[in-house]
A and B are shown apart, each in its own frame.
Chain A
Amino acid sequence: MMKMIWKTAAMAGLAAGLLATSALAADKTLNMIVIEGGDTTAMQAVADSYEAAHPGIKIKLQSYPFAQFFQVAELRLRSKDKGIDLVYVDAPLVASYASRGFLSKIDQGIDTSTLVQASVDAGKYDGTQYALPINNSAQVLFYNKALFKAAGITPPDGLTAGQSASQKQVDELASSKRWTWEQIADAARKLTVKDNGRTTQYGFSVEQFAELYQLQPFGESLGTDVIAPDGVTAEGYLDSPAWTKAATYWSNLYNEWGVSPKGLGYGEAAQLFTTGKLAMFVGGTWNLPILSATSVDYGVAPYPYFAGGKVLTPTGSWYVGVNAASADQQDAFDFAKYLTTSDEGTRVWFKALNQLPVYKPLLDEISTSPAFDTFPQDVFRLGVYDSLNTAKARPVTAAYGQLQDAFRTAFTDISNGVPVADALKSAVQKFEAAAKRVAQ
C-alpha cells in the first residue's frame, strides 16, 4: 500500500516536472514584482508593447499593495527567490539592496547617456550601477481657487485651467514667484474653518504625511542635510538648528495653528481637496488626472521653501533592477533596457502614469511640444524646471529603511504634540543604533 502511494507520487512529480520544462522551452517568462495600482497598469502597458516586439517572451507581473511591497520584496530577495527576475526598486533602497548582493550589476552594454545624469547616479552604489531609473517625480502645490476667493485672499501665482504657459514662462514662475512656507502658514490660517471645536475646512496639508520623501526639503532648504555624507551619522544633522526650526514649523501646522489634518493615509489629501475640505496641499504630479476628473477648480504652484533658505524640492522615484538570483539575466536586462532607455518604452510608461520622465528626449518634448502648452499638461514643465534646478535626492545610506522609519516616527510624534527636541533626539539615537549594525 505504502509503496504504491510513493510510486504514484513519484510519477506525478516527474510528470509535473516534464510539463514545466516543456512549457518553459516554448515560451520564456520573466517575472517582475511591482506595486499594485497605477504602477502595475503602466507596467502592463509597457510589457504588452515589449511582448509584441519580442515574441516568445512573456512578462508576468506580480503586484503587491504599497503597504506590503517593501516587506515582500525584502523577504523574497533575501531568500534568493528564483521566481523573480525583475525588481521594482525605490530609489533610496538601491544601496540597501546592492550592499547585500540582491541586485545584479547593470549590463555595461546598456547606454544611459540619454537619461538625466543625477537620476542615473542615484542608481549607483559604491560607484557601480545596480538599477536603472524608470521615472522621476516632482512635487507641486495644489490650491483650490474657490476657497481662496471665499476667504478673500490672493492665491499664489500658478498654472490654472484655461491658460497656457511656455517653458520660459514656467521657468520664470518657478524662479521668482515661488511662495515661502511662511506665506503658506499665513494663508492656511485664514483658510482654516472651525465649527464648534471641529475643523470643517483645513488650510494646508502634505500628501505623504511625515514621510522623508516629502519633508526632506523642509530642513535641508534651511542649510543642513538630514544625515551626514557617511550615511550613519545623524547627530548634528537631524537635530541641528535648521531641522529644529523645520520641525517646529511642522509641529505648528498641527498643534499651534491647527491648519493641517493629522495622519492622512494614501490618497486622502487629494480626496479632501476635491471635496472642498482642504484648501492647499503639496503632492505629486500623479494627482493631476485624479483632480482633473472632478469639478474642483484648482491651480498648481511651485513647491514652497523657507524665506531666507535655499529652494529645494523632492525628487527621485522608481528604478528597475535585476534579481541576482534570476536564472535569466540576459532577457531580464533586455526588458529593463526597453523600459528605461527606449523611445517606445518610456513613452508608454509616461502616458500611463503621468510621472516626470528621466529620458531626455521625452523631457525635451515636454519643454517644446505644443501638446504641453495647456493646463494641466504644462505642470510637467514645472517638474522639468525643478528637476534641473532645485531637485535634492534622498541621502545614500545602506540603512535607508531605518532612517525613513525613525524620521516618520519622529514627525508623527511631533504632530501629536511630543516636544520637537525630544522627538528629533530619539530619531537620531534610533537611526544611529540601527545604522551601526548595518554598516559594521
Chain B
Amino acid sequence: MTTRRTPVFFAVLCLAPALLGLVVFRLYPIALAVSDSLFNVVRGDTIFVGIGNYLALAADTTFWKSLQVTLWFNLLMNPIQIALALGLALLYVQKFRGITLYRVLFLIPIGVSLPTAVIIWRIMLTPDGLVNGLLNVAGLPAQPWLTSEGLALYSIIAIATWKGISYWMIFIVGGLQNISPEIYDAARIDGARAWQRLVYITVPLLRPTLLFVLVADVSINFLLFAPIFMLTQGGPADSTNVLMYEAYKSGFIFGDMGRAMAIIVVLVLLLLLIVGLQFRLLSRRTEAAS
C-alpha cells in the first residue's frame, strides 16, 4: 500500500509549485477578467451590468476595426516569422567557413531586450534616420515608416520579426538536430534532391517542434503590446490599434475597466479557439503521416 501511495504523493508534491503558479498567474487573472467584465463603474459606484459590456462591444466600431487589425497583423506576421525562423535554422545547422560569425550575428537580437530594440528601431526609422539615409544614398525617396497609415503596421511587423525569429530559430535548431542523419543519407542514396529532402523529410519530422513554435508564437503575437505602445500608440488613423492596445487604453487611460476586461476576455477566447484549431489540424496530419 505504502509503495503505491508514495509515488502519487511525490508526483503531486513535484507538480505543486507549477500548478500553484498556473492557478495564481494564469487562471486567477482570467477569472478576475471575466468577473470584472460584468461590472461598470459609474460615478464611483460599481454596477453589475451582466453581458452589457459585451453587447456594447458588438455595436462598437472601434472594437471591430481593432479586431480586424489584430487578425490581419497576425495573419501576416506568424507565417512570416515561422518561415524565416525555419530558414535561419536550416542555415544555422550547415557547416561552412565563417559559420560561427553567422551564428553569433543571428543570436544577437535575443540578447537585446524588446524595449531597447524598439527604441533603437525608432531612432533608425525617424524621417531623418538611418534607414531613410540609406534609401537616399540608393537614390530612393524617404519613407514615412511609422507615421503613414499604409506603412506603420508593416514597420511594426518587421521590427517584431527581427526581434523574434532568432528565438524561435533555436527551438527549430533543436528539432533539426533530433532528426537522425541516416534518414538524409538514405534519401540521398535514393536520389532525393535538396528541396525534396526538405519537404518530405525535414518538415514532416519537425512537425512537433513546429507545432510548439506556431502555438507559442501566435500566443505571443496576439498579445504583442510594447512596440505599439512605444512607437505608434495605435495610430496613424488606428492602423496599428490591436486589441491589446485598445484594452490597455480603455482600462488604464480612460478608467473604463469593464470594457477593457471584456476586450481581454474576447481576446483570450479568440486565442483559445485558434490554438485549439492549430492543435487539431496539426495533430491529425501527424496521425495520418504515421
B is a partner of A: yes
Which residues of A come within 8 Å of B, CB atoms?
70-71, 74-75, 78, 96, 99-102, 197-198, 262-263, 399, 401-402, 405, 409, 412-413, 416-418, 422-423, 426, 429-430, 433-434, 437-438, 440
Supposing A99-B43, A426-B238 touch, asked if A433 and B60 sit within 8 A by C-beta, the answer is yes
Q: How far is B238's CA from A76's CA once the two chains are assembled, in angstroms? A: 29
Which residues of B come within 8 Å of A, CB atoms?
40-44, 56, 60-62, 127-128, 136, 142, 144, 147-149, 233-238, 249, 252-256, 259
Supposing A417-B148, A430-B62, A437-B56 touch, asked if A422 and B237 sit within 8 A by C-beta, the answer is yes
Please state if A412 and B252 are interface contacts (CB–CB under 8 Å). no
Chain A residue at minimum C-beta to C-beta distance from B147? A416
Q: How far is B41's CA from A100's CA once the two chains are assembled, in angstroms? A: 8
Minimum distance in angstroms from B9 CB to a CB of chain A: 17
Q: How far is B127's CA from A70's CA once the two chains are assembled, in angstroms? A: 30
Other-chain contact of A405, B60, B128, B136, B253 (Cβ < 8 Å)? B253
Minimum distance in angstroms from A265 CB to a CB of chain B: 11
Chain A residue at minimum C-beta to C-beta distance from B128? A198
Please state if A71 and B252 are interface contacts (CB–CB under 8 Å). yes
User: Which secondary structure characterizes the binding site on chain A?
Assistant: helix
Which residues on the A side are within 8 Å of B259 (C-beta)?
Answer: 437
Minimum distance in angstroms from A198 CB to a CB of chain B: 6
Minimum distance in angstroms from B44 CB to a CB of chain A: 3
Please state if A262 and B254 are interface contacts (CB–CB under 8 Å). no
Which residues on the B side are within 8 Å of A197 (C-beta)?
Answer: 136, 142
Chain B residue at minimum C-beta to C-beta distance from A435? B254
Q: How far is B44's CA from A437's CA once the two chains are assembled, in angstroms? A: 14
Please state if B142 and A418 are interface contacts (CB–CB under 8 Å). no
Please state if A101 and B43 are interface contacts (CB–CB under 8 Å). yes
Supposing A405-B254, A434-B254 touch, asked if A100 and B44 sit within 8 A by C-beta, the answer is yes
Q: How far is B128's CA from A405's CA once the two chains are assembled, in angstroms? A: 27
Please state if B43 and A437 are interface contacts (CB–CB under 8 Å). no
Please state if B238 and A99 are interface contacts (CB–CB under 8 Å). no
Please state if B43 and A74 are interface contacts (CB–CB under 8 Å). no
Q: How far is B41's CA from A99's CA once the two chains are assembled, in angstroms? A: 10
Chain A residue at minimum C-beta to C-beta distance from B43? A99
Q: How far is B165's CA from A105's CA once the two chains are assembled, in angstroms? A: 55
Q: B40, B136, B147, B249: which has the most chain A beta carbons within 10 Å?
A: B147
Q: How far is B258's CA from A201's CA once the two chains are assembled, in angstroms? A: 48
Minimum distance in angstroms from B45 CB to a CB of chain A: 8
Please state if A100 and B255 are interface contacts (CB–CB under 8 Å). yes
6 tightest CB-CB pairs across the interface, nearest first? A101-B44, A416-B147, A100-B44, A413-B236, A416-B236, A71-B252
Q: A99, A399, A409, A430: which has the most chain B beta carbons within 10 Å?
A: A409
